[in-house]
Amino acid sequence: MTQTPQKVALITGAARGIGLATAQLMIEDGWRVALLDRDKDELSSAAAPLGDAALCLPHDVSNPQAAPLAIRTCLDHFGRLDALVNNAGVADFGPIEDTDFARWRRVMETNLDGVFLMSQAATPALRETSGAIVNIGSISGLRASTLRVAYGTSKAAVIHLTKQQAAELGEYGIRANCVCPGPVRTKLAMAVHTQDIIDAYHDAIPLNRYGSEREIAEVIAFLCSTKASYVTGQIIAADGGFESTGVGLPSLRRPD
């Protein structure tokens, strides 16, 4: 009897947070995972407990030379690529007047350019396996808010890029979907979430809490898997209901 080959995912921004939780979950599910991150030290300590199922790729997704090199190293090591998770992201919140071009580019080069470059480099390998791309957007890309001119715009662009990818790459059997997380207490979020923002999120989220890395990872892993074999071009918010609501939740919770 021939054995089904173990599937391989490449996850960017996998040294910590949502990316690392996704790598851990997919390895538990039987995948082998290439973990890519520009923070070399954090990457090697995160990957060490994952053993032979993990490969470290110390690269920066915003560097146009890095993407082809990362894909080649992954293919040389594992022999195939079934899923690309474009998760690496940076957050930098500030008013429009204070967002100079360098600050704008710092956000765009990782959050948007990185997704474009990695996906383009991975396409030939994903074509071989009828693989999947999962891009990580944000609720900040679905709804505008204060201080997010660069971050929110980069994530809105990722949402549209996902639809472009689904439209063009469906021809090759490649699926492309986007997960938009609500707030999760990672290093990225805690650097920009003031107490005001934390309180406002609790007020605006029907489930009345932050999500966990694992809750976001479950949605990503599903979209990478063949359980989602007829799902492409979709934008899925894993956000405790934030996107679906409007005003009024606090008054519901705090009757006088």
Q: Is 187 in the site for ligand NAD (CB under 6 A)?
A: yes
Query: In angstroms, rounded to a whole number, what is the distance separating the alpha carbons of residues 22 and 34?
Result: 11
Nearer to ligand NAD, 12 or 123 (CB): 12
Q: Is 151 part of the annotated catalytic residue set?
A: yes
Q: Which positions from 88 to 127 touch ligand NAD by CB under 6 A, shown as an x/- string?
A: xxxx------------------x---x-------------
Q: Is 85 in the site for ligand NAD (CB under 6 A)?
A: no
Residue selected from 9, 25, 26, 38 as contacting ligand NAD according to rule CB under 6 A: 38
> Which are the contacts of 156, defined by CB distance < 8 A and separation ≥ 6?
137, 141, 142
- What are the CB-based long-range contacts (under 8 Å, 24+) for 196-201? 201/242
Q: Tokens 């080649």 appear where?
A: 72
> Quick one: which segment of 11-19, 120-128, 166-174, 246-254 binds ligand NAD (CB under 6 A)?
11-19
Nearer to ligand NAD, 16 or 175 (CB): 16
Secondary structure (DSSP) of 181-199: E--B-SHHHHHH--HHHHH
What type of residue sits at position 187? Answer: K
For 215-251, b where at least 16 C-beta lie within 10 A, e where not — what string?
bbbebbbebbbeebeeebbebbbbbbebbeeeeebee
The least CB distance from residue 3 to ligand NAD, in Å, is 33
Residue selected from 94, 131, 152, 181 as contacting ligand NAD according to rule CB under 6 A: 181
Nearer to ligand NAD, 55 or 189 (CB): 189
Q: Is 161 in the site for ligand NAD (CB under 6 A)?
A: no
Return residues touching ligand NAD (CB under 6 A). Answer: 12-13, 15-19, 37-39, 60-62, 87-91, 110, 114, 136, 138, 181, 183-184, 186-189
Catalytic residues: 151
